[in-house]
Amino acid sequence: MKNIKIIHQPSDAELAKLCVRQWPVWEKEVSTFPWTYDAREICYLLEGDVTVTPKGGQPVRFGKGDLVTFPDGMECTWQIHVAVRKHYQFS
């Protein structure tokens, strides 16, 4: 099974290397919804607290200041506890 990867509080140098601040921004209110990744996504949370549960897997919780990578093809459920604002990039 492909896993969600989290880097807690990456350095400014790591973020600059990825050009994170140039990525688009996505926002979402407190909610729960299913999601399937058609491509790998990397995101950096500017705000929020989220639990993502992969289909058949264990819940993963992350939030503000975390750099998170979701694998291509992953089916999951997002549960947003605190409204999210994040930079994101699909590849």
pLDDT in tens, 37-66: 999 999 999 999 999 999 999 999 999 999
Number of domains forming the structure of the chain? 1
The percentage of residues in the chain with a pLDDT greater than 70, rounded to a whole number, is 99
pLDDT score recorded for residue 2: 77
**Over pLDDT 90: what percentage of the chain?**
98
- Return the CATH number at 35: 2.60.120.10
Residue 1: the pLDDT is: 58
- Distance separating alpha carbons of residues 40 and 50, to the nearest angstrom: 18
Parent domain of 65: 5-90
Q: What's the Cα-to-Cα distance from 68 to each of 15, 47, 88, rounded to whole Å? A: 12, 13, 9
Which pLDDT belongs to residue 23? 98
